[in-house]
Structure 1
């Protein structure tokens, strides 16, 4: 007796269901691949974990971070911890393996674990000082008018300083200055790979994830994150950026 294979008719319901299932799987896999690529090279979403950027951003806001354009003065940027910056209140809660998978493929906003978000104040070579006679922060001699984003009641800085930003790094500050562990707090710290006090106060370019450009959730907080006009008036640095930061914890001449 010979065996004969039983073939489903090409137009049978079972073969049509199998084809639809294969097509669905291919669509899902393709969507995950595209989403992962977009997250890696174009942009991703982060959850705000702390109050350091209030009232520009509040705890629980979902922000879109784009990775295509270079960050400039005035931008709100997301970056990896440069080393020793993060306390429990500044770092988002780390998700489990399943949640992390959905973060990686872009289906969940990043929990912000290991990342911070601040405003970029000084580029390499910039001299950032606090403060002038009116109590304003100055960059390259130009005072900043920060009332449009500074937390109500906060001074531009409670501590006085003069710094020149080193090559390859930026100086950042939170908009809620009295509740932000930003570059100022680390002006006497030595980084993990550094030997000079203050090395840890500046964020290397390769640690910057991207520019925060949009608050998308909750809907009541939907807004665009632009670059404040005051930064348009800041002149270029007067000279090349030094290899090491130049730091003085004293007020500028007034």
Structure 2
């Protein structure tokens, strides 16, 4: 087969792989970022179900999707020093929750709790009898002897927290997040391979004195490479732009770059480079995406130095 034919075949493959890769990468990674986040267990309050240092995938859900027994990540600004915590949903709006010290009943029905630490239902506080207000949740930790949960705030709307304070629910099955990340990574690989084939196809056209130079005397291969680089840059800008409305960490990173003097395009390019580095690291090590690790809050001294 002639070199011209080979180059044409490579270019056709590139035109197929690049769009396919972009659809897989942007679709799956975008879905993952909008529907899931990562979290690391920081305390013993949910033992033995989840232990300190364990990595979890958190599925973002609406208040209407919460069910009794769910383990949720909740953020209550006036509790727990403003930090998100993991707790289990025991009662929902309108529920009557009673504990006599030995067992918990919800609306008169005993709650089976095989997950509690050492079978201790209520080892550190006295009995309680509460009516959960509408739109709120009564939450407990699985390690009842070491959990600062709704039992300790009974004078604040029966210890309940607003259902809107739930950031997400712990995903018991990692299959869906793993598939999304894998397909997203595959999409990036296909995109890069397609770009590489396109460059190779352009290189094939440059072989021979007549094909190597245009009327201007410039190399066609250089022009082809420039085109592929522009495509990759365009993909990066789209990815970064979409993340600004979907990822609080990405938005904060972009804003810091802008405050430091970067133009809009430069700040987006820096954000895309960060995404690529994070994706490579997490695919290589098999880690789930974690917003807090991907975009840690800078210390005040570092923020002042950057500004």
Range into which the TM-score falls when normalised by the shorter chain: 0.5 to 0.7
Q: Per-residue deviation at 1:173? A: 0.2
**Residue 143 (1) aligns with residue 143 (2):** no
Secondary structure of the residue that 1:152 maps to in structure 2? helix
After the TM superposition, which parts of structure 1 deviate over 6 Å for at least 4 consecutive aligned residues?
9-12
Q: Which residue of 2 aligns with 1:70?
A: 65
Q: Is the 8 A contact 1:126 1:139 kept in 2?
A: yes
Q: Deviations over 1:136-165 (max 9, x none)?
A: 11111112232x101016343532311100
C-alpha contact 2:71 2:170 (8 A) present in aligned 1? yes
Q: Quote the Cα distance in structure 1 between the aligned partners of 2:5 and 2:84.
A: 54
Q: How many Å separate the matches in 1 of 2:47 and 2:22?
A: 38
Deviations 1:44-67 (A, max 9, x none): 322111110000000111222223
Conserved? CA contact 2:104–2:121, under 8 Å: no
Determine if contact 1:85/1:181 at 8 Å carries over to the other structure.
no
Whether 1:199 and 2:157 are equivalent positions in the alignment is yes
CA contact (8 A) 1:170 1:204 kept: yes
In structure 2, the residue matched to 1:55 is 48
Q: Aligned equivalents of 1:199 and 1:145: distance in 2? A: 25
What CA distance in whole angstroms lies between the structure 1 residues aligned with 2:136 and 2:5?
64
Say which of 208, 216, 221 aligns to 2:166. Answer: 208
Structure with greater proportional strand content: 1
Partner of 1:125: 94
Task: Supply the distance in 2 between the matched residues of 1:167 and 1:63 (Cα, whole angstroms).
Answer: 29
Are residues 1:86 and 2:80 paired? yes
2:171 maps to 1:176: no
* Shift, 1:28, TM fit: 7.4
How many pairs are equivalent? 170
Q: Secondary structure at the match of 1:128?
A: strand
Would the alpha carbon gap of residues 82 and 153 (structure 1) be closer, same or farther in structure 2, given more than 3 Å must change? Answer: same
Cα offset, 1:214, TM superposition = 1.9
SS of residue matched to 1:59: coil
Structure number with bigger Rg: 2
**Residue equivalent to 1:166:** 133
Judged with a 3 Å threshold, the aligned counterparts in structure 2 of structure 1 residues 179 and 127 are, in CA distance, closer, same or farther, namely same
Q: Distance in 2 between matches of 1:55 and 1:215?
A: 18
**1:203 positional shift:** 2.0
SS at match of 2:44: coil
State yes or no: 1:187 paired with 2:187.
no
Unaligned runs of 5+ in 1: 1-8, 92-113, 189-197, 217-254
